[in-house]
Amino acid sequence: MRKIFFLILLFLIPSYSLSSEIKLEKISDDLKKPWSLSFLDNLNVIITEKSGKLFSLNLANKKKSEIKHNLFVIEDGQGGLLDVLYHEKEIYISYTEKRGNRGETSTSVAKGNFDKQNIEFKNIFRAEPPINSGYHFGSRLVIKDNHLYITAGERGQGMIAQDATKHPGSIIRINLDGSIPKDNPKFKDKKNWLPEIFQIGVRNPQGMALSPFDNKIYMTNHGARGGDWFGTVNFGENYGWKILGWGGTNYSGTKIGPKWKPGFTKAIKYWVPSIAVSSMTIYKGNTFKEWNGNALITSLKDQSLRKLKFKDNKFLSEEIIFKGKIGRIRDIKIQKSTGDIFMISDNGSLWRMYK
């Protein structure tokens, strides 16, 4: 029986490796609470700082230049200037917007034409209702088939994620100009949903990426005490927060609900206890060819980069690439021209991982 127990334990614990072939290079270390980066071209990236500052950075000469903008950003707890996405000479950006005079804020998204010195943004989405909370903004952005997908966290309000007449706790899908797609769930079989909502029942999804292999969108989501997960974005479905606890409990220690039950979307991978799962990408590139099609998942809690193998929505294996090397990893992106991996961490640094 003891042998069987240890075999089961070895299977459940993710393997840890840091190959001697893998190298980490610090590109910059003078950022302040960076949250996201996006490639402008092969040599230049655009980076957000939570305080509201926006920068471009040249990867070759490491020169950083501030880009002025007209957004009224408030840094409130987990909120601030958050995700940034460059697409066809336009910048999409998510941020915490001050709404009203009583502390209410929202996860808002704006769009502007890229300019090296000054970008004039215009809002194309604002989560309603605004809420007085510094928690759970979500805030990742992905473009697929000329639609913009937005993760809107539930702002610490729990069951609001089950109320499809409100945006918090949902995945949003709009057209690139902010208009509403006519094939969203509301216009099919979800008559009581807000027209921008694509999926409900999420808590705080801080990672989202489009797979270049199957054209599906994948995301990561924070649980409470346990119950982080990695899964797919699905039309008109419900991940169950806060009916489901995904294996976690309230911070007081009380139970939330079952890990999963029929009628709700089932995640591909759950973490109990929590790893404070953050950003993610589906790897495609030449630097680490053997990783093509795998999910790369970052963690805030144990400061790790993890590689997940999965197939047909089935979890196969998990490997820790490194842990505690660069701090709390906030974002991860792939340089298409090389396949090198770029990451930013809360301690203000930008890193390149390569061979």
In whole angstroms, give the CA distance from residue 306 to residue 324.
Answer: 12
Domain count, the chain: 1
H-helix or E-strand containing 269?
A: strand 269-271
Predicted confidence pLDDT, tens digits, the chain (355 residues):
544 444 444 444 444 445 568 999 999 999 999 999 999 999 999 999 999 999 999 999 999 999 999 999 999 999 999 999 999 999 999 999 999 888 999 999 999 999 999 999 999 999 999 999 999 999 999 999 999 999 999 999 999 999 999 999 999 999 999 999 999 999 999 999 999 999 999 999 999 999 999 999 999 999 999 999 999 999 999 999 999 999 999 999 999 999 999 999 999 999 999 999 999 999 999 999 999 999 999 999 999 999 999 999 999 999 999 999 999 999 999 999 999 999 999 999 999 999 9
- Determine the structural domain holding residue 238 and report its residue range: 2-354
Paired residues of 68 in beta bridges: 118
Residue with tokens 């709404």: 99
Q: How much is the pLDDT for 18? A: 55
Q: State the DSSP H helix or E strand holding residue 2, giving kind and residue range, or none if neither.
A: helix 2-12
CB-CB contact of 159 with 168 (8 Å): no
Written as one letter, the residue type at 329 is: I
Rounded distance between C-alpha atoms, residue 285 and residue 212, angstroms:
11
Structural tokens at position 335? 């340089």
> How far is residue 59 from each of residues 41, 45, 88, 324, measured CA to CA in Å?
10, 8, 20, 24
Tokens of 194: 């807000």
Q: Which two tokens stand for residue 255?
A: 């139970």
Three-class secondary structure of residue 20 per DSSP: coil
User: CA-CA distance, 45 to 120, in Å (whole number)?
Assistant: 19
pLDDT of residue 15: 43
Which pLDDT score, from 0 to 100, does residue 17 have?
46
- Give the CATH number, domain containing residue 82: 2.120.10.30
